[in-house]
Structure 1
Amino acid sequence: MAGLIVKNLSKTFEFQNKKIQVLKDINLDIPDRSFITMVGKSGCGKTTFLRIVAGLESKTEGQIEFINCKDRSKKKIGIVFQEPRLMPWLTVEQNLAFSLIKCKDKSYVKDKVQATLEILGLADFKKAYPSQISGGMAQRVSLGRTLCFDPKIILMDEPLGALDAFTRKKLQNELVDIFIKSGKTFIFVTHDIEEAVYLGQRVAVMNNGIITEEIQIDLDFYRNPEDAKFLEYKKSILNIYK
Protein backbone atom coordinates (compact mmCIF):
# COMPACT_ATOMS: atom_id res chain seq x y z
CA MET A 1 0.00 0.00 0.00
CA ALA A 2 1.06 3.63 -0.22
CA GLY A 3 0.31 7.19 0.77
CA LEU A 4 1.83 10.44 -0.35
CA ILE A 5 3.17 13.75 0.90
CA VAL A 6 2.66 16.90 -1.16
CA LYS A 7 5.06 19.78 -0.48
CA ASN A 8 4.63 23.35 -1.79
CA LEU A 9 2.93 22.18 -4.98
CA SER A 10 2.14 24.96 -7.44
CA LYS A 11 0.93 25.04 -11.02
CA THR A 12 0.94 27.98 -13.43
CA PHE A 13 -0.54 28.06 -16.93
CA GLU A 14 0.23 30.55 -19.66
CA PHE A 15 -2.79 31.89 -21.53
CA GLN A 16 -2.65 34.76 -24.06
CA ASN A 17 0.79 35.78 -22.76
CA LYS A 18 -0.51 35.90 -19.20
CA LYS A 19 0.44 33.61 -16.31
CA ILE A 20 -2.48 32.06 -14.44
CA GLN A 21 -1.73 30.30 -11.17
CA VAL A 22 -4.22 27.49 -10.54
CA LEU A 23 -2.45 25.84 -7.59
CA LYS A 24 -0.57 27.76 -4.90
CA ASP A 25 1.73 26.10 -2.36
CA ILE A 26 -0.38 23.00 -1.74
CA ASN A 27 0.83 21.04 1.29
CA LEU A 28 -0.98 17.80 2.06
CA ASP A 29 -0.11 14.67 4.02
CA ILE A 30 -2.15 11.68 2.82
CA PRO A 31 -1.39 8.59 4.93
CA ASP A 32 -1.39 5.03 3.65
CA ARG A 33 -4.88 3.40 3.72
CA SER A 34 -6.75 6.68 4.18
CA PHE A 35 -9.76 8.21 2.42
CA ILE A 36 -9.28 11.92 1.73
CA THR A 37 -11.95 14.03 0.06
CA MET A 38 -11.29 17.38 -1.59
CA VAL A 39 -14.15 19.83 -1.91
CA GLY A 40 -14.39 23.21 -3.57
CA LYS A 41 -16.13 25.32 -6.17
CA SER A 42 -15.72 24.57 -9.87
CA GLY A 43 -12.40 25.92 -11.16
CA CYS A 44 -10.66 25.95 -7.78
CA GLY A 45 -7.90 23.56 -8.92
CA LYS A 46 -9.15 20.17 -7.67
CA THR A 47 -8.93 18.36 -11.01
CA THR A 48 -5.54 19.90 -11.81
CA PHE A 49 -4.24 18.60 -8.48
CA LEU A 50 -5.43 15.06 -9.28
CA ARG A 51 -3.95 15.16 -12.78
CA ILE A 52 -0.55 16.16 -11.39
CA VAL A 53 -0.63 13.37 -8.78
CA ALA A 54 -1.61 10.91 -11.54
CA GLY A 55 1.28 12.07 -13.72
CA LEU A 56 -1.06 13.34 -16.44
CA GLU A 57 0.12 16.91 -16.01
CA SER A 58 3.39 18.51 -14.93
CA LYS A 59 3.82 20.66 -11.85
CA THR A 60 5.47 24.09 -11.88
CA GLU A 61 6.96 23.89 -8.40
CA GLY A 62 6.96 21.60 -5.38
CA GLN A 63 7.34 17.90 -4.65
CA ILE A 64 5.19 14.78 -4.41
CA GLU A 65 6.69 11.98 -2.32
CA PHE A 66 5.11 8.53 -2.46
CA ILE A 67 5.30 6.68 0.85
CA ASN A 68 6.53 3.06 0.63
CA CYS A 69 7.14 3.52 -3.10
CA LYS A 70 10.80 4.38 -3.55
CA ASP A 71 10.68 2.81 -7.01
CA ARG A 72 8.36 5.22 -8.86
CA SER A 73 7.61 2.55 -11.47
CA LYS A 74 5.85 0.54 -8.76
CA LYS A 75 3.71 3.26 -7.22
CA LYS A 76 0.66 2.22 -9.31
CA ILE A 77 -1.93 4.98 -9.38
CA GLY A 78 -5.42 4.51 -10.79
CA ILE A 79 -7.83 7.29 -11.73
CA VAL A 80 -11.62 7.29 -12.20
CA PHE A 81 -13.07 10.22 -14.15
CA GLN A 82 -16.49 11.85 -14.03
CA GLU A 83 -17.47 10.09 -17.28
CA PRO A 84 -17.09 6.28 -17.41
CA ARG A 85 -15.00 6.43 -20.63
CA LEU A 86 -15.70 2.80 -21.50
CA MET A 87 -14.84 1.27 -24.85
CA PRO A 88 -18.23 0.74 -26.54
CA TRP A 89 -17.04 -2.19 -28.66
CA LEU A 90 -16.03 -4.22 -25.58
CA THR A 91 -18.33 -6.02 -23.13
CA VAL A 92 -18.37 -5.23 -19.42
CA GLU A 93 -15.91 -8.01 -18.60
CA GLN A 94 -13.68 -7.06 -21.55
CA ASN A 95 -13.60 -3.43 -20.36
CA LEU A 96 -12.48 -4.65 -16.93
CA ALA A 97 -9.85 -6.98 -18.41
CA PHE A 98 -8.43 -4.19 -20.57
CA SER A 99 -6.60 -2.72 -17.57
CA LEU A 100 -4.71 -6.03 -17.34
CA ILE A 101 -3.81 -6.20 -21.02
CA LYS A 102 -0.09 -6.54 -20.21
CA CYS A 103 -0.66 -9.48 -17.87
CA LYS A 104 0.25 -12.79 -19.55
CA ASP A 105 -1.38 -14.94 -16.86
CA LYS A 106 -4.83 -15.48 -18.40
CA SER A 107 -6.04 -17.43 -15.37
CA TYR A 108 -5.18 -14.49 -13.07
CA VAL A 109 -6.97 -12.04 -15.37
CA LYS A 110 -10.08 -14.21 -15.49
CA ASP A 111 -10.20 -14.62 -11.69
CA LYS A 112 -9.50 -10.92 -11.05
CA VAL A 113 -12.24 -9.79 -13.43
CA GLN A 114 -14.77 -12.25 -11.99
CA ALA A 115 -13.99 -11.21 -8.41
CA THR A 116 -14.41 -7.53 -9.35
CA LEU A 117 -17.71 -8.25 -11.11
CA GLU A 118 -18.96 -9.91 -7.91
CA ILE A 119 -17.82 -7.03 -5.68
CA LEU A 120 -19.65 -4.48 -7.82
CA GLY A 121 -22.74 -6.58 -8.46
CA LEU A 122 -22.13 -6.77 -12.21
CA ALA A 123 -21.74 -10.53 -12.68
CA ASP A 124 -25.11 -10.84 -14.44
CA PHE A 125 -24.13 -8.11 -16.93
CA LYS A 126 -20.61 -9.23 -17.84
CA LYS A 127 -21.57 -9.98 -21.44
CA ALA A 128 -23.43 -6.67 -21.89
CA TYR A 129 -22.04 -3.75 -23.88
CA PRO A 130 -21.88 -0.19 -22.47
CA SER A 131 -24.91 0.82 -24.55
CA GLN A 132 -26.95 -1.90 -22.83
CA ILE A 133 -26.37 -0.84 -19.21
CA SER A 134 -27.42 2.14 -17.09
CA GLY A 135 -25.26 5.14 -16.24
CA GLY A 136 -24.76 3.86 -12.69
CA MET A 137 -23.63 0.48 -13.96
CA ALA A 138 -21.27 2.13 -16.44
CA GLN A 139 -19.68 4.09 -13.60
CA ARG A 140 -19.28 0.88 -11.63
CA VAL A 141 -17.52 -0.68 -14.63
CA SER A 142 -15.20 2.33 -14.73
CA LEU A 143 -14.40 1.85 -11.05
CA GLY A 144 -14.01 -1.88 -11.58
CA ARG A 145 -11.51 -1.33 -14.39
CA THR A 146 -9.38 0.66 -11.96
CA LEU A 147 -9.76 -1.98 -9.23
CA CYS A 148 -8.63 -4.72 -11.63
CA PHE A 149 -5.47 -2.72 -12.26
CA ASP A 150 -5.00 -3.00 -8.47
CA PRO A 151 -3.40 0.40 -7.84
CA LYS A 152 -2.04 1.40 -4.47
CA ILE A 153 -3.66 4.84 -4.73
CA ILE A 154 -7.07 5.51 -6.32
CA LEU A 155 -7.85 9.03 -7.54
CA MET A 156 -11.49 9.90 -8.24
CA ASP A 157 -12.52 13.08 -10.06
CA GLU A 158 -16.21 13.75 -9.30
CA PRO A 159 -17.11 10.22 -10.46
CA LEU A 160 -20.67 10.33 -9.12
CA GLY A 161 -21.62 13.87 -10.13
CA ALA A 162 -23.76 12.93 -13.15
CA LEU A 163 -25.80 10.22 -11.39
CA ASP A 164 -29.28 10.42 -9.91
CA ALA A 165 -29.56 10.70 -6.11
CA PHE A 166 -30.51 7.05 -5.51
CA THR A 167 -27.71 5.59 -7.66
CA ARG A 168 -25.24 8.07 -6.20
CA LYS A 169 -26.01 7.00 -2.63
CA LYS A 170 -25.71 3.32 -3.57
CA LEU A 171 -22.30 3.87 -5.15
CA GLN A 172 -21.14 5.95 -2.18
CA ASN A 173 -21.85 2.97 0.07
CA GLU A 174 -20.10 0.62 -2.37
CA LEU A 175 -17.04 2.88 -2.26
CA VAL A 176 -17.02 2.70 1.53
CA ASP A 177 -17.25 -1.10 1.29
CA ILE A 178 -14.32 -1.23 -1.13
CA PHE A 179 -12.24 1.13 0.99
CA ILE A 180 -12.80 -0.90 4.15
CA LYS A 181 -12.07 -4.23 2.47
CA SER A 182 -9.16 -3.19 0.26
CA GLY A 183 -7.26 -0.84 2.56
CA LYS A 184 -6.21 1.26 -0.42
CA THR A 185 -5.58 5.00 -0.34
CA PHE A 186 -8.37 7.12 -1.87
CA ILE A 187 -8.29 10.77 -2.96
CA PHE A 188 -11.82 11.75 -3.96
CA VAL A 189 -12.65 15.12 -5.53
CA THR A 190 -16.18 16.52 -5.36
CA HIS A 191 -18.04 19.82 -5.22
CA ASP A 192 -20.73 18.22 -3.06
CA ILE A 193 -20.08 18.99 0.63
CA GLU A 194 -22.40 16.27 1.92
CA GLU A 195 -20.63 13.70 -0.23
CA ALA A 196 -17.24 14.91 1.02
CA VAL A 197 -18.31 14.49 4.66
CA TYR A 198 -20.01 11.14 3.98
CA LEU A 199 -16.93 9.55 2.41
CA GLY A 200 -13.88 11.32 3.79
CA GLN A 201 -11.90 10.59 6.90
CA ARG A 202 -10.51 14.06 6.26
CA VAL A 203 -11.85 16.85 4.07
CA ALA A 204 -9.47 19.26 2.35
CA VAL A 205 -11.30 22.47 1.47
CA MET A 206 -9.99 24.26 -1.64
CA ASN A 207 -10.58 27.80 -2.83
CA ASN A 208 -8.78 29.64 -5.64
CA GLY A 209 -5.99 27.07 -5.86
CA ILE A 210 -5.29 27.00 -2.13
CA ILE A 211 -6.20 24.47 0.55
CA THR A 212 -7.80 26.83 3.04
CA GLU A 213 -8.58 24.26 5.70
CA GLU A 214 -8.42 20.55 6.53
CA ILE A 215 -11.19 19.06 8.64
CA GLN A 216 -10.88 15.70 10.39
CA ILE A 217 -14.17 13.77 10.25
CA ASP A 218 -14.53 11.84 13.51
CA LEU A 219 -17.47 9.70 12.45
CA ASP A 220 -17.59 5.95 11.91
CA PHE A 221 -18.72 4.44 8.61
CA TYR A 222 -21.55 4.23 7.60
CA ARG A 223 -22.64 7.78 8.27
CA ASN A 224 -26.07 9.31 8.74
CA PRO A 225 -26.38 12.65 6.88
CA GLU A 226 -29.13 13.67 9.32
CA ASP A 227 -26.97 13.10 12.39
CA ALA A 228 -26.30 16.28 14.37
CA LYS A 229 -22.51 15.94 14.19
CA PHE A 230 -22.65 15.23 10.44
CA LEU A 231 -24.70 18.40 9.92
CA GLU A 232 -22.22 20.31 12.07
CA TYR A 233 -19.36 19.26 9.78
CA LYS A 234 -21.34 20.35 6.72
CA LYS A 235 -22.11 23.72 8.28
CA SER A 236 -18.48 24.33 9.24
CA ILE A 237 -17.37 23.72 5.63
CA LEU A 238 -20.10 25.95 4.23
CA ASN A 239 -19.02 28.72 6.62
CA ILE A 240 -15.51 28.65 5.13
CA TYR A 241 -16.95 30.03 1.89
CA LYS A 242 -18.89 32.87 3.53
Structure 2
Amino acid sequence: MAGLEIKKLCKSFDIKGTKVSALNNINLLIEDESFVTIVGKSGCGKTTLLRIICGLENQTEGNISFIYRDEKLKEKDSKKKVSIVFQEPRLMPWLTVEQNMAFPLIKNKNRQEVCDIVHKYLNMLGLEKFKEAYPSQISGGMAQRVSLGRTLCYNPEIILMDEPLGALDAFNRSKLQREFINIFLENKKTIVFVTHDVDEAIYLGQKIVVMDKGHIIKKEIIDMDYYRDSSSNKFLEIKNSLLKEILA
Protein backbone atom coordinates (compact mmCIF):
# COMPACT_ATOMS: atom_id res chain seq x y z
CA MET A 1 0.00 0.00 0.00
CA ALA A 2 1.04 3.58 -0.55
CA GLY A 3 0.51 7.03 0.89
CA LEU A 4 1.16 10.46 -0.58
CA GLU A 5 3.29 13.43 0.32
CA ILE A 6 2.26 16.69 -1.27
CA LYS A 7 4.72 19.58 -1.07
CA LYS A 8 4.26 23.22 -2.07
CA LEU A 9 1.62 22.32 -4.64
CA CYS A 10 0.22 25.18 -6.70
CA LYS A 11 -2.17 25.29 -9.63
CA SER A 12 -3.17 28.32 -11.66
CA PHE A 13 -5.26 28.77 -14.79
CA ASP A 14 -5.04 31.42 -17.48
CA ILE A 15 -8.54 32.69 -18.21
CA LYS A 16 -8.59 35.26 -21.02
CA GLY A 17 -5.18 36.56 -20.04
CA THR A 18 -5.96 36.64 -16.32
CA LYS A 19 -4.10 34.30 -13.97
CA VAL A 20 -6.49 32.54 -11.58
CA SER A 21 -5.04 30.59 -8.67
CA ALA A 22 -6.87 27.35 -7.83
CA LEU A 23 -4.36 25.87 -5.36
CA ASN A 24 -1.83 27.75 -3.27
CA ASN A 25 1.11 26.14 -1.45
CA ILE A 26 -0.63 22.88 -0.53
CA ASN A 27 1.39 20.75 1.91
CA LEU A 28 -0.25 17.52 2.99
CA LEU A 29 0.82 14.09 4.22
CA ILE A 30 -1.61 11.27 3.45
CA GLU A 31 -0.37 8.19 5.24
CA ASP A 32 -0.83 4.74 3.73
CA GLU A 33 -3.90 2.81 4.89
CA SER A 34 -5.54 6.03 6.09
CA PHE A 35 -8.93 7.61 5.37
CA VAL A 36 -8.58 11.34 4.71
CA THR A 37 -11.58 13.56 4.05
CA ILE A 38 -11.27 16.97 2.38
CA VAL A 39 -14.07 19.44 3.08
CA GLY A 40 -14.78 23.00 2.00
CA LYS A 41 -17.11 25.25 0.07
CA SER A 42 -17.67 24.82 -3.66
CA GLY A 43 -14.75 26.26 -5.62
CA CYS A 44 -12.20 25.92 -2.82
CA GLY A 45 -9.91 23.63 -4.85
CA LYS A 46 -10.92 20.18 -3.56
CA THR A 47 -11.64 18.63 -6.95
CA THR A 48 -8.63 20.28 -8.58
CA LEU A 49 -6.40 18.67 -5.96
CA LEU A 50 -7.87 15.21 -6.66
CA ARG A 51 -7.50 15.67 -10.41
CA ILE A 52 -3.82 16.50 -9.99
CA ILE A 53 -3.22 13.51 -7.70
CA CYS A 54 -4.73 11.11 -10.24
CA GLY A 55 -3.01 12.72 -13.23
CA LEU A 56 -6.00 14.36 -14.91
CA GLU A 57 -4.42 17.80 -14.35
CA ASN A 58 -0.83 18.98 -14.10
CA GLN A 59 0.29 21.17 -11.24
CA THR A 60 1.89 24.55 -11.91
CA GLU A 61 4.42 24.10 -9.11
CA GLY A 62 5.24 21.62 -6.37
CA ASN A 63 5.56 17.86 -6.06
CA ILE A 64 3.50 14.79 -5.26
CA SER A 65 5.40 11.67 -4.22
CA PHE A 66 4.33 8.21 -3.14
CA ILE A 67 5.48 6.94 0.24
CA TYR A 68 5.67 3.37 1.51
CA ARG A 69 6.11 1.68 4.83
CA ASP A 70 8.13 -0.97 3.02
CA GLU A 71 10.89 0.70 1.01
CA LYS A 72 11.31 -2.47 -1.06
CA LEU A 73 7.95 -1.80 -2.68
CA LYS A 74 9.20 1.61 -3.82
CA GLU A 75 11.81 -0.06 -5.98
CA LYS A 76 9.41 -2.74 -7.22
CA ASP A 77 6.58 -0.50 -8.39
CA SER A 78 7.57 2.26 -10.77
CA LYS A 79 3.95 2.82 -11.82
CA LYS A 80 1.57 3.40 -8.92
CA LYS A 81 -2.12 2.63 -9.14
CA VAL A 82 -4.50 5.46 -8.32
CA SER A 83 -8.22 5.35 -9.14
CA ILE A 84 -10.96 7.95 -8.81
CA VAL A 85 -14.68 7.56 -8.12
CA PHE A 86 -16.70 10.52 -9.39
CA GLN A 87 -20.02 11.94 -8.21
CA GLU A 88 -21.69 10.35 -11.24
CA PRO A 89 -21.20 6.57 -11.60
CA ARG A 90 -20.06 6.93 -15.25
CA LEU A 91 -21.02 3.36 -16.12
CA MET A 92 -21.10 2.07 -19.68
CA PRO A 93 -24.81 1.67 -20.48
CA TRP A 94 -24.27 -1.16 -22.96
CA LEU A 95 -22.53 -3.35 -20.35
CA THR A 96 -24.13 -5.25 -17.50
CA VAL A 97 -23.27 -4.62 -13.84
CA GLU A 98 -20.87 -7.56 -13.92
CA GLN A 99 -19.24 -6.42 -17.18
CA ASN A 100 -18.84 -2.85 -15.94
CA MET A 101 -17.04 -4.11 -12.84
CA ALA A 102 -14.84 -6.44 -14.89
CA PHE A 103 -13.85 -3.72 -17.37
CA PRO A 104 -10.58 -2.69 -15.59
CA LEU A 105 -9.46 -6.33 -15.82
CA ILE A 106 -9.94 -6.56 -19.59
CA LYS A 107 -6.20 -7.12 -20.17
CA ASN A 108 -6.12 -10.01 -17.71
CA LYS A 109 -6.20 -13.18 -19.81
CA ASN A 110 -6.95 -15.44 -16.85
CA ARG A 111 -10.76 -15.64 -17.07
CA GLN A 112 -11.16 -17.56 -13.82
CA GLU A 113 -9.14 -14.98 -11.91
CA VAL A 114 -11.26 -12.18 -13.37
CA CYS A 115 -14.44 -14.04 -12.44
CA ASP A 116 -13.23 -14.60 -8.87
CA ILE A 117 -12.28 -10.94 -8.40
CA VAL A 118 -15.55 -9.59 -9.79
CA HIS A 119 -17.70 -11.99 -7.80
CA LYS A 120 -15.85 -11.15 -4.60
CA TYR A 121 -16.91 -7.51 -4.91
CA LEU A 122 -20.38 -8.29 -6.26
CA ASN A 123 -20.99 -10.20 -3.04
CA MET A 124 -19.31 -7.59 -0.84
CA LEU A 125 -21.46 -4.79 -2.26
CA GLY A 126 -24.71 -6.77 -2.36
CA LEU A 127 -24.91 -6.72 -6.16
CA GLU A 128 -24.86 -10.45 -6.94
CA LYS A 129 -28.58 -10.57 -7.77
CA PHE A 130 -28.19 -7.63 -10.18
CA LYS A 131 -25.04 -8.75 -12.01
CA GLU A 132 -26.92 -9.22 -15.31
CA ALA A 133 -28.81 -5.93 -15.06
CA TYR A 134 -27.89 -2.87 -17.14
CA PRO A 135 -27.25 0.57 -15.59
CA SER A 136 -30.69 1.81 -16.69
CA GLN A 137 -32.30 -0.99 -14.68
CA ILE A 138 -30.76 -0.21 -11.29
CA SER A 139 -31.10 2.62 -8.77
CA GLY A 140 -28.68 5.51 -8.30
CA GLY A 141 -27.37 3.98 -5.10
CA MET A 142 -26.71 0.66 -6.80
CA ALA A 143 -25.03 2.39 -9.73
CA GLN A 144 -22.67 4.13 -7.32
CA ARG A 145 -21.88 0.76 -5.73
CA VAL A 146 -21.09 -0.63 -9.17
CA SER A 147 -18.74 2.30 -9.77
CA LEU A 148 -17.03 1.58 -6.45
CA GLY A 149 -16.87 -2.13 -7.28
CA ARG A 150 -15.21 -1.36 -10.59
CA THR A 151 -12.56 0.63 -8.74
CA LEU A 152 -11.99 -2.17 -6.21
CA CYS A 153 -11.61 -4.71 -9.03
CA TYR A 154 -8.84 -2.53 -10.44
CA ASN A 155 -7.17 -2.88 -7.02
CA PRO A 156 -5.57 0.57 -6.76
CA GLU A 157 -3.25 1.48 -3.94
CA ILE A 158 -5.02 4.80 -3.46
CA ILE A 159 -8.74 5.46 -4.00
CA LEU A 160 -9.82 9.05 -4.64
CA MET A 161 -13.50 9.92 -4.24
CA ASP A 162 -14.93 13.19 -5.54
CA GLU A 163 -18.24 13.75 -3.74
CA PRO A 164 -19.44 10.26 -4.74
CA LEU A 165 -22.59 10.50 -2.61
CA GLY A 166 -23.62 14.03 -3.50
CA ALA A 167 -26.49 13.01 -5.80
CA LEU A 168 -28.02 10.38 -3.50
CA ASP A 169 -30.95 10.59 -1.11
CA ALA A 170 -30.29 10.55 2.64
CA PHE A 171 -31.08 6.83 3.06
CA ASN A 172 -28.74 5.62 0.29
CA ARG A 173 -26.10 8.13 1.33
CA SER A 174 -26.06 6.80 4.90
CA LYS A 175 -25.98 3.20 3.67
CA LEU A 176 -23.05 3.81 1.33
CA GLN A 177 -21.12 5.74 4.00
CA ARG A 178 -21.16 2.57 6.07
CA GLU A 179 -20.13 0.55 3.01
CA PHE A 180 -17.12 2.82 2.50
CA ILE A 181 -16.06 2.29 6.10
CA ASN A 182 -16.50 -1.49 5.77
CA ILE A 183 -14.37 -1.52 2.62
CA PHE A 184 -11.72 0.64 4.24
CA LEU A 185 -11.50 -1.59 7.31
CA GLU A 186 -11.48 -4.81 5.29
CA ASN A 187 -9.18 -3.81 2.42
CA LYS A 188 -6.86 -1.33 4.16
CA LYS A 189 -6.82 1.00 1.17
CA THR A 190 -5.65 4.58 1.32
CA ILE A 191 -8.76 6.70 0.67
CA VAL A 192 -8.99 10.42 -0.05
CA PHE A 193 -12.63 11.53 0.04
CA VAL A 194 -13.81 14.98 -1.07
CA THR A 195 -17.11 16.31 0.28
CA HIS A 196 -18.85 19.59 1.10
CA ASP A 197 -20.77 17.87 3.92
CA VAL A 198 -19.08 18.42 7.30
CA ASP A 199 -21.02 15.59 8.99
CA GLU A 200 -19.91 13.19 6.28
CA ALA A 201 -16.29 14.32 6.59
CA ILE A 202 -16.32 13.65 10.35
CA TYR A 203 -18.20 10.35 10.05
CA LEU A 204 -15.73 8.93 7.53
CA GLY A 205 -12.34 10.55 8.03
CA GLN A 206 -9.44 9.72 10.29
CA LYS A 207 -7.99 13.06 9.25
CA ILE A 208 -10.01 16.02 8.01
CA VAL A 209 -8.50 18.67 5.76
CA VAL A 210 -10.40 21.95 5.48
CA MET A 211 -9.82 24.01 2.34
CA ASP A 212 -10.77 27.57 1.42
CA LYS A 213 -9.84 29.60 -1.67
CA GLY A 214 -7.11 27.16 -2.72
CA HIS A 215 -5.49 26.97 0.73
CA ILE A 216 -5.51 24.38 3.48
CA ILE A 217 -6.77 26.29 6.51
CA LYS A 218 -7.11 23.45 9.02
CA LYS A 219 -6.11 19.81 9.59
CA GLU A 220 -7.95 17.81 12.22
CA ILE A 221 -7.16 14.30 13.48
CA ILE A 222 -10.37 12.48 14.43
CA ASP A 223 -9.73 10.30 17.47
CA MET A 224 -13.02 8.38 17.32
CA ASP A 225 -13.64 4.72 16.57
CA TYR A 226 -15.90 3.59 13.71
CA TYR A 227 -18.88 3.66 13.60
CA ARG A 228 -19.48 7.19 14.86
CA ASP A 229 -22.51 8.65 16.54
CA SER A 230 -23.29 12.00 14.89
CA SER A 231 -25.30 13.08 17.94
CA SER A 232 -22.46 12.54 20.44
CA ASN A 233 -20.92 15.51 22.22
CA LYS A 234 -17.49 14.83 20.72
CA PHE A 235 -18.88 14.65 17.17
CA LEU A 236 -20.80 17.91 17.61
CA GLU A 237 -17.79 19.61 19.18
CA ILE A 238 -15.63 18.74 16.16
CA LYS A 239 -18.40 19.82 13.79
CA ASN A 240 -18.75 23.23 15.42
CA SER A 241 -14.97 23.73 15.31
CA LEU A 242 -14.84 22.91 11.59
CA LEU A 243 -17.83 25.08 10.74
CA LYS A 244 -16.23 28.08 12.43
CA GLU A 245 -13.24 27.70 10.11
CA ILE A 246 -15.32 27.14 6.97
CA LEU A 247 -17.77 29.97 7.64
CA ALA A 248 -15.23 32.49 8.94
Give the Cα–Cα distance (whole angstroms) in 2 for the partners of residues 186 and 136 of structure 1.
Answer: 20
Secondary structure in 1 aligned to 2:105? coil
Secondary structure in 2 aligned to 1:19? strand
Counterpart selection for 1:159 from 164, 179, 184: 164
| Deviations 1:133-192, CA, capped at 9 Å, x for gaps | 000000000000000000000000000000000000000000000000000100000000
Q: Which amino acid aligns with 1:57?
A: E
State the partner residue of 2:188. Answer: 183
Counterpart selection for 2:238 from 214, 233, 240: 233
State the partner residue of 2:63. Answer: 63
Q: Which amino acid aligns with 1:104?
A: K
Give the Cα–Cα distance (whole angstroms) in 2 for the partners of residues 194 and 230 of structure 1.
Answer: 8
1:73 to partner: Cα distance? 4.2
| Deviations 1:11-38, CA, capped at 9 Å, x for gaps | 0100010100100000000001000000
TM-score (norm 1): 0.98
Give the Cα–Cα distance (whole angstroms) in 1 for the partners of residues 154 and 198 of structure 2.
Answer: 29
State the partner residue of 1:29. Answer: 29
Give the Cα–Cα distance (whole angstroms) in 2 for the partners of residues 71 and 44 of structure 1.
Answer: 36
State the partner residue of 1:50. Answer: 50
Give the Cα–Cα distance (whole angstroms) in 2 for the partners of residues 28 and 169 of structure 1.
Answer: 28
**5+ residue gaps, structure 2:** 69-73
Give the Cα–Cα distance (whole angstroms) in 2 for the partners of residues 222 and 74 of structure 1.
Answer: 34
Give the Cα–Cα distance (whole angstroms) in 2 for the partners of residues 23 and 144 of structure 1.
Answer: 31
Give the Cα–Cα distance (whole angstroms) in 2 for the partners of residues 22 and 212 of structure 1.
Answer: 14
Q: Does 1:93 align with 2:95?
A: no
Pairwise CA RMSD = 0.9
Secondary structure in 2 aligned to 1:231? helix
TM-score (norm 2): 0.96
**5+ residue gaps, structure 1:** none
State the partner residue of 1:121. Answer: 126
My pick for the range that moved more, 65-74 or 131-140, is 65-74
Give the Cα–Cα distance (whole angstroms) in 2 for the partners of residues 123 and 84 of structure 1.
Answer: 18
Q: Which amino acid aligns with 2:117?
A: K
Aligned length: 242
State the partner residue of 2:71. Answer: none
Give the Cα–Cα distance (whole angstroms) in 1 for the partners of residues 111 and 15 of structure 2.
Answer: 48
Give the Cα–Cα distance (whole angstroms) in 2 for the partners of residues 230 and 104 of structure 1.
Answer: 48
1:74 to partner: Cα distance? 3.0
State the partner residue of 1:170. Answer: 175
Give the Cα–Cα distance (whole angstroms) in 2 for the partners of residues 58 and 122 of structure 1.
Answer: 36
Q: Does 1:193 align with 2:198?
A: yes
| Deviations 1:60-117, CA, capped at 9 Å, x for gaps | 0000010134566431001000000000000000000001111111111000000000
State the partner residue of 2:86. Answer: 81
Q: Does 1:217 align with 2:217?
A: no
